[in-house]
Amino acid sequence: MDKPQNETDLYKLRYAEFVVPLVKAVQDQQKMIEELQKENAQLKTMKADIDMLKAALVKRKLNTSNLKYKLILFVFVPHLTKVIWQFLQQLNFN
């Protein structure tokens, strides 16, 4: 911004000096939005897996000694573990 040289002058803006940082900020924001959308999709997948497991448990009224319960855990826990591990890796917790 240029200050007026005298009382009749106006303030002047140098657009090139603030448009470039604004464009960069929008690009950074878009990158963050895309990363959050990916994270949100992964969380939705994890929630769906958990909801499916919960529904199976409620529907069958399974207990820990039941073979079907153990089978469900054998099938779903590795998948959930993989999804959780991928999520943590994306957060740099590895």
- In terms of DSSP H, where are the helices of 1-94? 15-60, 67-90
- Is 12 exposed, middle or buried (CB count within 10 Å of its CB: 0-12, 13-18, 19+)? exposed
The whole-number average pLDDT for the span 14-28 is 88
Residues 68/62, Cβ–Cβ less than 8 Å: yes
Higher per-residue confidence, 28 vs 65: 28
Q: What is the mean pLDDT of residues 17-29?
A: 91
pLDDT of residue 9: 84
Confidence of residue 94 (pLDDT cuts 50, 70, 90): very low
Residue 13, classed as helix, strand or coil, is coil
pLDDT value at residue 43 = 92
Q: How far apart are CA 80 and CA 67, in angstroms?
A: 20
Q: What is the pLDDT of residues 32-84, one digit of tens each?
A: 999 999 999 999 998 888 888 777 767 666 554 565 666 666 666 666 667 77
Q: Cβ(23)–Cβ(74) under 8 Å?
A: no
Q: Note the residue count of the chain.
A: 94
